[in-house]
Structure 1
Amino acid sequence: MPEHYKTWLLFHSAFMIAALYGQQVFANEAGRDLSGVIGIGVSSGPEFAGSDNDTTDLIPIISLTWRDRYFLNERGLGFYAIRNAGPRDVTVSFAIGYDFDERLAEDDVRLTGLRDVEAGALISAGLEFDLGGAAIEIELNQGISSDGHEGTRAVVGAAFSRQVGDRLQLGVKPFAVWSDGSYADAFYGVSAQDAVTSPFAAYDAGSGFERLGIELQASYELTPRTALFLGVEHSQLLGDAKDSPISFDDSQTEISTGVLFRF
């Protein structure tokens, strides 16, 4: 994996489409031990959170479920404690995975003198339930690597999807992201030591809503097992993240496209 900032947002559109695409078929294929979607795509988005430069990379997509209990996807390796239970189809899950959130001085010459925030392991918990017209999704992540941010981040979204004809599926998801002080200070703060070695004045970034955004998704079925996908995601940095001296652009857009295979 290239050493670039791989935010949760960069992969999210592709994996959300993969999940929706897989559900189309596997809702009608009970009794299978292993089901899922694999694919390959290209994604373009900011080099790091707040960057005004984009980077483009290949995305391997893996979204697998084993016996309707265990999964391997963008969150890592996990299990469902509750799956589609009750009238609201409540799902509760837990996972351990790899957090691609990072900001390296080599990404931008303007970051010279700031400490690197490296990618590393994280644990996550997820809650999903159906409100009829929308699926509410809540995800809580905690970084656990000493060279990373070691912070907490919560993402809340409402996913809407619609089948258009036999082949086209569309989706839209507004979302909000909250981060604690540890996460915010790692990515948007400038410590007293960094202020000495960099051109930036000291800046303390506290907890609060980091960004608001919307995600647009589309998949087009080429064959019963193959589809093309397109995802576009736009978000706006808020509060201390927006006001940070190392946020060079508070408007962040990600675009991803590729092909999916389900089995």
Structure 2
Amino acid sequence: MAGPYKTSLPFPCALMVAVLCGQHAAANERERDLSGVIGFGIGSAPEFSGSDKDTTELFPIIDLTWRDRYFLNDRGLGFYALRNAGRRNLSVSFAIGYDFDERLAEDDARLTGLRDVEAGALLSAGLAFDVGAAEVDLELNHGISSKGHEGTRATISAAFSRMAGDRLRLSARPFLVWSDGSYASAFYGVSAQEAASSAFAAYDAGSGFERVGIELQASYSLTPRTALFAGIEHFQLLGDAKDSPISFDDALTEISTGVIFRF
């Protein structure tokens, strides 16, 4: 679920949408061709991964499914090759979307001399299944914009949710992210050429686990089709990402709130 933020993970809407839709999405999708939720939110997040400065913006929320096969959401436009199959509700999906993950010199004067890493197109593949108390998600994405990171990342997460009364739902989603050398080099590395034109020494950032964190959310149903939500996501940079001279803060937090409408 993603807003127009320059952080590496989608803004914390995906968990909220999944939880709110999950209460009756299956029934709705059998009854109509188009189902899902739309809404809007406001949130605060780091300017870029490793930034010690925050930005606050409005963002849209869109999670639509057509005939239980095609979707438009934070991952972009995609399709399910397999959906809710078998005892574990196994789903396999593919999508092409827009990656808001970027780092620009205009975000911070300290970045002067480093190349801009711009937002761009993103390919993704996902695998989801139930393990009883949680839904496990595996997602692989790859940047395909020549001005972007052109890297690959893999995220594993587990979403837990429970009702706290008739209208309040509480959710938690721990996650772990691995990135390849292209992604790490773009966001955390400093080439010899960049070192000569910036205030940073050369730094080689390689593949490995990039971050670990948890997303917490609460949603309150005002009506059967309208709900308010609030969320907080905190993550810790790891390995070369944490040690990078461009990582001015390695413990980062995002917060958001908003409203969604089911149909």
Q: Does TM, scored on the shorter chain, surpass 0.5? A: yes
Shift of 1:166: 1.5
- What secondary structure is seen at the aligned counterpart in 1 of 2:117? coil
- Residues 1-263 of structure 1: pairs in structure 2 closer than 5 A: 5-11=5-11, 13-29=12-28, 30-263=30-263
**Quick one: distance in 2 between partners of 1:231 and 1:258?**
9
Q: Deviations over 1:130-159 (max 9, x none)?
A: 111111100000000000000000110011
Q: TM-score, normalised by structure 2?
A: 0.96
- What secondary structure is seen at the aligned counterpart in 2 of 1:187? helix
Moved over 6 A (4+): none
Cα contact 2:232–2:255 (8 A) shared by 1? yes
Shift of 1:8: 4.4
- What secondary structure is seen at the aligned counterpart in 1 of 2:31? coil
Q: Deviations over 1:34-76 (max 9, x none)?
A: 0000001001010000000000010100000000000000000
- What secondary structure is seen at the aligned counterpart in 2 of 1:19? helix
Cα contact 1:10–1:43 (8 A) shared by 2? no
Cα contact 2:6–2:103 (8 A) shared by 1? no
AA aligned opposite 1:252: L
**Quick one: distance in 2 between partners of 1:19 and 1:173?**
11
Cα contact 2:7–2:45 (8 A) shared by 1? no
Q: How much is the aligned-residue C-alpha RMSD, in angstroms?
A: 1.0
Shift of 1:19: 2.1
Unaligned runs of at least 5 residues, structure 1: none
Shift of 1:217: 1.1
**Quick one: distance in 1 between partners of 2:48 and 2:25?**
36
Unaligned runs of at least 5 residues, structure 2: none
AA aligned opposite 1:211: R
Q: TM-score, normalised by structure 1?
A: 0.96
AA aligned opposite 2:25: F
Corresponding pairs, count: 259
From the superposition, tell whether residues 92 and 10 of structure 1 become closer, same or farther in structure 2 (CA, over 3 Å). closer
**Quick one: distance in 1 between partners of 2:135 and 2:64?**
20
**Quick one: distance in 2 between partners of 1:195 and 1:17?**
42
**Quick one: distance in 2 between partners of 1:239 and 1:249?**
14
What is the aligned-residue identity percentage? 74
**Quick one: distance in 1 between partners of 2:22 and 2:214?**
22
From the superposition, tell whether residues 24 and 179 of structure 1 become closer, same or farther in structure 2 (CA, over 3 Å). same
From the superposition, tell whether residues 242 and 202 of structure 1 become closer, same or farther in structure 2 (CA, over 3 Å). same
Q: Deviations over 1:168-219 (max 9, x none)?
A: 1111011000000000000000011100110100001000000000010111
**Quick one: distance in 1 between partners of 2:87 and 2:197?**
57
- What secondary structure is seen at the aligned counterpart in 2 of 1:9? coil
**Quick one: distance in 2 between partners of 1:56 and 1:155?**
25
AA aligned opposite 1:260: I
Cα contact 2:8–2:49 (8 A) shared by 1? no
**Quick one: distance in 2 between partners of 1:126 and 1:98?**
16
From the superposition, tell whether residues 5 and 115 of structure 1 become closer, same or farther in structure 2 (CA, over 3 Å). farther
